[in-house]
Amino acid sequence: MINIGTMSVRLFISEPIKSEYTLIFEPRKTAGNGYLQINLSGEQKNVKVSISNATDILNNKVLQCRENKIFIEDIERNKKNKIMFQIEYAEECSLEVNLYGYQA
């Protein structure tokens, strides 16, 4: 698995009460299957955050998630992705997102 990078990344909190965030991004490379890894962004280091209820909004598809990973299929270079997910952390926070996939 390699970090395949993301472009035009945008994150916003879409439902604060549910700690629900929306993430928009475009992969830098085509990579088949892979996962997004999401961490709370700390001052000194990042902290793992548990994710639940992830959905691919554009394809109206529920995504598997485990710990701080959201598993996605058909990672395609420059293709816009819009994913909604909830985190188990009540405070509004800034995040760091990395996309991993298999090198094509």
Q: Which residues bind another protein (CB under 8 A)?
A: 8-14, 16, 21, 23-24, 41, 43, 92-97
CB of 63 to another protein, least distance (A): 18
Complex with another protein: residue 18 or 32, whichever CB lies closer: 18
Determine the length of the chain. 104
CB of 24 to another protein, least distance (A): 5
CB of 51 to another protein, least distance (A): 14
Please, which residues have CB within 8 angstroms of residue 7's CB and are 6 or more apart in sequence?
Answer: 25, 26, 27, 28, 78
Please, which residues have CB within 8 angstroms of residue 45's CB and are 6 or more apart in sequence?
Answer: none
- Distance (Å, whole) CA 19 – CA 88: 7
Complex with another protein: residue 57 or 102, whichever CB lies closer: 57
